[in-house]
Every structure is written in structure tokens, then in C-alpha cells.
Structure 1
Amino acid sequence: MDLMDRTVVRCAEGHVFSTASFPMQHLDAGRLGPGRLIRCPRCARLRHAVPVVLQKG
């Protein structure tokens, strides 16, 4: 994964957006959990966000 790849995330309010920085993305999700605090561009607040699994097809 390139460091400049964008990650699609969903905030606790249900807003879906992409971000160029998803803090601590490279660490083991099993140890820290998949969620991070990130500022949502829709509600403009720090929200818990998790990566969205995109389905192909």
C-alpha cells in the first residue's frame, strides 16, 4: 500500500468519506482496533471512524 493511498472511512454519525491520512493505519488492527478519531468533513467534529470495506461487482 502506497503511503499516499486514500482510505474510505465511515464516521460514528454514518458519514462516508475518503481521507489521505488514517492515523496508525499501519499498526495491527487486532491489537488497537480498526477505529480512529478523525475529523469528519460532513459534521466538522472529531468522530470515531472505521475503514469501509468496498464490495466489488
Structure 2
Amino acid sequence: MGSMERTVVRCAEGHVFSTASFPLQQLGSGRIGPGRLIRCPRCARLRHAVPVAVAAELEQR
């Protein structure tokens, strides 16, 4: 089994974390957008999360 690619995401509460799975699924013929429901490790709740650019995140800090 190869190494898994990780995606850096930001949840609706603003927490930034990486995840091994961030599926880009489709509903019917159209995409549902870049966001997904994923369990945030910081607030331990299912939250809407979107991918973030790592370089842009580092510039904000």
C-alpha cells in the first residue's frame, strides 16, 4: 500500500488540520462544491470543511 496524500482543510469554526481522506463526490450530474462534512479533530464535531492553500495559510500566521 502506498503513502496516502493528505489534504489541508479549514472547518467552519476556522480550525485548520490535515486529513487523509477528502473525497470530491458528485450528486447526480452536478458537483456539490469543494466543501465536505468532516469530523474536526479540534472541536470533535461534524463540520463543513474546505481545502486551503498551504502557502496562503503560512502567510497569515
TM bucket (normalised to shorter chain) is 0.7 to 0.9
- The 4+ residue runs of structure 1 with deviation greater than 3 A are none
> For the aligned residues, what is the CA RMSD?
2.7
Residue of structure 2 equivalent to 1:6: 6
Indicate the residue corresponding to 1:39 in structure 2.
39
What TM-score results when the alignment is normalised by the length of structure 1? 0.76
Flag structure 2 segments of 5+ consecutive residues without an equivalent. 57-61
Counterpart mapping for 1:16-55 below 5 A: 16-24=16-24, 31-55=31-55
Deviation at 1:32, TM superposition (A): 1.9
Higher strand share: 2
Identity %: 81
* 2:59 match: none
